[in-house]
Chain A
Amino acid sequence: MTRTRLIYIVSGLLLVALIATLGAGGGSTALDWRAALAGEGVDYTILVHFRLPRIALAALSGAALGIAGSVLQVMLRNPLASPDIIGFGAGAAAGGVAAIVLSGSLALVAPGALLGGGLAAVAVLGLSWKSGLSPLALVLTGVALSLMLATVADILLSLSPGLQAAEAARFLTGGFSGADWAGVLGVAAVLAAGWACMGWLSFSVDRLDTGDEIARAHGLRPDRVRLTAAALSAVIVSVSVSVTGPLPFVSFLAGPLARGISGKAGTCLGLSALFGALICLGADSLSRFPVAGTHLPAGLFTAMIGGPAMLVLLVRQGGRG
């Protein structure tokens, strides 16, 4: 590990810690730190049962989305091919809504989201597969599928009776305000497992960057590596979405930021996770400030930050030809 990289990571971690501390202190109720840390009264309850899980969830799901996006982008050699753009996120969201509407409770959201995300991944890969995986076809198919899945979620919403519709609508506005420790544990588990698998896979994915022929000469099977990485990415995104709801552009933005700032190519798992966490913590902090008397959900802020960032990236890419 080079010294500059170490500096990036340490300063990034410090930034995460800083935003997290500020986030723990800020909110609609001012926190009395001394009482909270002494384990007494209301302040302690607020800190441990509301603020801490929220921050942990933001950091962990951001990190999970970051690595899922980064691997997919490197694999498809296109920074625009992230799970939230090619339909995995929309599939998981539609699956979660379907689970809420059909079962009438929140208990089945996670399996529903996993099923939805998995089906969306299969559909995108299957529909764009034509004697190999073409990144161009994959991205465009994913955009079309995302729109259709959002439509399906909308139809399910209008089919459902009032109470479930409200639950489903709340799920669809992604954010961290409903965080609890069970959700945090779920995301932490999938992050740990996903990170381990991605770490093992990232060697192969980075080799794909040199072109399929050279990768084959290295003894890799490019399409099998791609399928595994895509499946892994879909699982990570689905679990994360099932807990937080959709957070657009996080998995898209983390990878390019990590690579742009560190100046390195490849998957950059650690830095991508760091930037994913930073984006989510930042969006969560923004969502604590009331705008015209209302707390807007974090997913809204990630979209408002991510949209312009994507346009800038497109213009820069276009300028290079």
Chain B
Amino acid sequence: MALRHGATMLAGVGLLFLGSLLLGARPGVGLSDLAALIYPPDPQDAPGIVLREMRLPRSCAALLAGAALGAAGAVIQTLSRNPLADPGLLGVNAGAAFGIALTVWLSGPLPAGQLIVPALIGAGLASAVIWALGAAMRNPLTLILGGAALTAMLGAALRGVMLIDNGALDALRYWSVGSVDAVPPGSLGPAALLALVGAGLAMAAARRLDAMALGEDVAQALGTSLGLTRALALGATAVLSAAAVLVAGPLAFVGLVAPHVARMAGASGTGTLCVLSAAGGGALVLLADIAGRIILPGLVIEAGLGVTLIGGPVLIWLVRRHAAGDI
């Protein structure tokens, strides 16, 4: 069941990726132009150049950020046993974005490879704060509101930096709204590497999280170290979020929605859940970005805004479904 749904989801992601390459403000980009992806197009070939220089990085960024956030959401939801957890809502993305913005403000524009460090530090610190709420972590309300407070605070700090440094306003606006509209040049490679590290951590955490799902006593009896499991899971969340923020800024709701889609597709163990969530997250961001490009002609609605407009109702629906109090 999970396998069949998984194959369907992967096919869907592939189709959306293709759609993201072919649809957009510039008409007349057809399947025959896809050759430009392999061979550098000649400078006269406008559709080929649009495809290779603009749509390809954008689609890759959407796929990468969505997949990373989807997997991160699956890990953090399993760890906290809270179906409403999401790196975007919990402030982990805002932490990474603020780390990057602060660094850009203090030291001027840096190559994307060097921004990995502040992104990781920011995401790590934010997840540590969320973990410090650990005593109350089982309470869904506490976790979400703590995350909302952290996000609001970091958002205000980010706006402060933007207001102080008018010259960097454009560069910094990118880090306040999630978007794949202008992927920072050279950021895809480092982010992909980072996402791979995060995926490795998530896979290492997955088996232990499965044991923990049986109950902490049982997990310890099976020889699972609770501390190590938590550290691995939180580390995976932070690294995956940092990778996503590096290419696409802080996208909220992707990590919330994707695991629910994956569960509907029949994912059971944490490992399967992560993989299917990654597919779901990639599909979601690709979909939001394509819709944002074609809904209003002449205007691009950033993917972060589209994702929020899709994810907000999902959160409300989840809350309504669980309103009996057993969230």
A136 CB within 8 Å of chain B? yes
- B320: chain A residues at CB < 8 Å are 127-128, 130, 137, 141
A310 CB within 8 Å of chain B? yes
A29 CB within 8 Å of chain B? no
Most buried by B among A291, A308, A315: A315
- A155: chain B residues at CB < 8 Å are 301, 305
Number of B residues with CB within 8 Å of any CB on chain A: 47
B221 CB within 8 Å of chain A? no
A249 CB within 8 Å of chain B? yes
- B156: chain A residues at CB < 8 Å are 248, 299-300, 303-304, 307
Does the CB pair A143–B301 fall under 8 Å?
no
A319 CB within 8 Å of chain B? yes
- A299: chain B residues at CB < 8 Å are 156
- B166: chain A residues at CB < 8 Å are 294
- B301: chain A residues at CB < 8 Å are 155, 158
Does the CB pair A173–B136 fall under 8 Å?
no
Tell which of B142, B152, B164, B327 touches A318, judged by Cβ atoms closer than 8 Å.
Answer: B142
B242 CB within 8 Å of chain A? no
- B160: chain A residues at CB < 8 Å are 291, 296, 300, 304
Does the CB pair B139–A143 fall under 8 Å?
no
Does the CB pair B315–A140 fall under 8 Å?
yes
In the assembled complex, the Cα of A292 lies from the Cα of B142 at a distance in Å of 36
B312 CB within 8 Å of chain A? yes
A154 CB within 8 Å of chain B? yes
B80 CB within 8 Å of chain A? no
Does the CB pair A173–B152 fall under 8 Å?
no
Residues of chain A from 245 to 285 with CB closer than 8 A to chain B in the complex: 248-249
B228 CB within 8 Å of chain A? no
Q: How close is B153's CB to chain A, nearest CB, in angstroms?
A: 3
Q: How close is B91's CB to chain A, nearest CB, in angstroms?
A: 9
A13-21, A55-63, A103-111, A145-153: which lies at the interface: A145-153
B2-10, B59-67, B143-151, B196-204: which lies at the interface: B143-151
Residues of chain B from 124 to 144 with CB closer than 8 A to chain A in the complex: 129, 132-133, 135-136, 139-142, 144
In the assembled complex, the Cα of A161 lies from the Cα of B156 at a distance in Å of 25
Residues of chain A from 135 to 189 with CB closer than 8 A to chain B in the complex: 136-137, 139-141, 143-145, 147-148, 150-152, 154-155, 158-159, 173
Does the CB pair B319–A137 fall under 8 Å?
yes
Residues of chain B from 231 to 254 with CB closer than 8 A to chain A in the complex: 252-253
- Chain A contact residues: over half helix, strand or loop, or mixed? helix
Does the CB pair B312–A315 fall under 8 Å?
no
**Given contacts A127-B316, A158-B301, are A249 and B152 in contact (CB under 8 A)?**
yes
- A297: chain B residues at CB < 8 Å are 163
In the assembled complex, the Cα of A68 lies from the Cα of B164 at a distance in Å of 32
Interface residues of B (CB under 8 A from A): 84, 89, 129, 132-133, 135-136, 139-142, 144-146, 148-150, 152-157, 159-160, 163-166, 177, 252-253, 296, 299, 301, 305, 308-309, 312-313, 315-316, 319-320, 323, 325, 327
The contact sample of 22 A-B pairs, CB cut-off 8 A, is A85-B148, A140-B319, A141-B319, A144-B316, A147-B312, A148-B312, A158-B301, A159-B299, A173-B159, A248-B156, A292-B165, A294-B163, A300-B160, A303-B152, A303-B155, A303-B156, A304-B156, A306-B152, A311-B133, A317-B136, A318-B142, A319-B135
Given contacts A143-B144, A154-B177, A314-B136, 17 further A-B contacts (CB under 8 A): A80-B141, A128-B319, A134-B325, A136-B323, A136-B325, A137-B323, A144-B316, A147-B252, A147-B308, A155-B301, A248-B156, A303-B152, A303-B153, A304-B153, A307-B150, A307-B153, A317-B142
